[in-house]
Structure 1
Amino acid sequence: MRRIDQLLLEYGESHQNETNKSIHWICVPLIFFSIVGLIASIPSQAVQSVLGEGNVYANWATVVLVLVTIYYVTLSIPLSIGMMLFGVLCLALANLIIRLNIAPLWAVCIGVFVLAWIGQFYGHKVEGKKPSFFKDVQFLLIGPAWLMHFVYKKLGIPY
């Protein structure tokens, strides 16, 4: 069995309850986005000097997403493409929040992060099982891929 299949199967073991699954469909992408936004909020003069002054994507979140994509490539090239596209969508949303200037990006992301984790822990309370990342921190990255693999299955795309 491929490593990605083992990881998805193990992650799925603590995500059987339909309420918990539904909560994960909302909260996991929100947590992923909020982390991207928080990392994008870190001052990035060094990154901009390499990727270009004034480039709205020249920030630490882009650097981290490249590293995360490399991790996903080691598991599944097709899934890594989907996760990379989702990462780009998160970067674009973060830049939109910055342009709208309704609140600092970091403040929006902290609020989203806290609310989404409350949802996650509620879902696991309903499930009656601890979140997978308590066992292995890499499950923080497997959660989004677990959702993406369902999207791929629905579209008939092998992962």
Structure 2
Amino acid sequence: MEHASRPRDIDILLAKYAESHQNQTNELIHFVCIPAIVFSLLGILWAIHPVVALLVVLGSLYYYLKLSRPFALGMGAMSVLMLAILAALPEMTVLPVSIAVFVVAWIGQFIGHKIEGKKPSFFDDLRFLLIGPLFVLSFLYRRMRLAY
């Protein structure tokens, strides 16, 4: 008797996340706001100290690696790009720009969920704060026909 393969954790998490992200407008808002939130959060951490931002990136990459190597590679590339941009910005601008982007992007997220008519996934499970970026990345991977 052959057993069906068990769904991977990443597939279960993405499917659960997608349940509250069915509206096309909400999805589009997320495609802009989630990367903006990641960038701004890294910027806030960078303003504390670049090592703090790097440690958070490494911790999140460890989690992503446990879920999916291809996603970990994609998030690693995005993190390197974001940290490079932060390193290139004038030091005094990093914190105010990051705070402004963070606030505006979260307002966008909540507007998207108001349009969707469903609460954000992370209200039920904080892991979804880390799954959101993978949800966005999954669309890019599917468009590029990359397995995750």
Q: TM-score, normalised by structure 2?
A: 0.93
Which residue is 2:111 aligned to?
Answer: 122
Deviation at 1:104, TM superposition (A): 2.5
Residues 31-63 of structure 1 show CA distances to partners (whole Å, capped at 9, x for unaligned) of: 0000011111114xxxxxxxxxxxxxx521111
- 1:158 corresponds to 2:137: no
> Who is 1:66 aligned against?
58
Structure 1 residues 85-124: aligned runs within 5 Å: 85-98=77-90, 103-124=92-113
- SS of equivalent to 1:136: coil
Q: Which residue of 1 aligns with 2:135?
A: 146
Distance across 1 between alignment mates of 2:83 and 2:102: 16
Ranges in structure 2 where 5+ consecutive residues have no aligned partner: 1-6
Point out the more displaced range, 147-156 or 112-121: 147-156
Instruction: Give the whole-Å Cα distance in 1 for the aligned partners of 2:10 and 2:41.
Output: 23
Pairing 1:81–2:73 present:
yes
Q: Distance in 1 between matches of 2:20 and 2:66?
A: 24
Determine what percentage of the aligned residue pairs are the same residue.
47
Alpha-carbon separation, structure 1, partners of 2:62 and 2:142: 22
Q: What's the counterpart of residue 46 of structure 1?
A: none
Q: Which deviations, in whole Å up to 9, do the C-alpha atoms of 1:5-25 show, x marking residues without a partner?
A: 000000000000011001001
TM-score (norm 1): 0.86
Runs of 4 or more, structure 1, over 3 Å off, are none
SS in 2 for 1:41: helix
